[in-house]
Amino acid sequence: MKKTNDIFKKNPEKHDFPAAADYLELLYDEQKTTELVKNLTEAKTIYKKCKDILRASELPLLPHENKYVREDLQKIKDSIKLSPILLVRGSNKLIIADGYHRICASYYLNEDLEIPCRLI
């Protein structure tokens, strides 16, 4: 069984932050989105179990057959490390700003897998 360090990079890739901004702009105004993304770039990477991230976000586990979940599972099989997840605490619900497919792929490997994430 692969370990967290075998699957994930320690830090997010630069393109993850604009992707998070694209999503967060649907929920917040431009000023708030800019503030959140800045905070995500400065946050320390921490580790949380993928099952807990899914539960807190209240999002469903995407099917194994989902194109992007399959792509992430293939990357893991090919030893291509994935980016950490970007998370924002909402009011009573966790917002996955970037990395939903990566969480679902990880869940299929081991629901207790500790995933690196940035949480603000």
Average pLDDT, the chain: 94
Q: What is the CA radius of gyration of the chain?
A: 14
pLDDT tens-digit profile of 90-117?
Answer: 888 999 999 999 999 999 999 999 999 9
Tell me how many domains the chain contains: 1
The count of C-alpha atoms lying within 13 angstroms of the C-alpha of 115, restricted to the half-sphere facing its C-beta, is 31
**For residue 1, what pLDDT is reported?**
59
**For residue 9, what pLDDT is reported?**
94
Partnered with residue 85 across adjacent β-strands are 117
Distance separating alpha carbons of residues 110 and 47, to the nearest angstrom: 14
Range of the domain at 10: 4-119
Supply the CATH number for residue 68's domain: 3.90.1530
Residue 9 near residue 81, CB atoms below 8 Å: yes
Entry pTM: 0.92
Distance separating alpha carbons of residues 67 and 64, to the nearest angstrom: 8
Distance separating alpha carbons of residues 83 and 32, to the nearest angstrom: 24
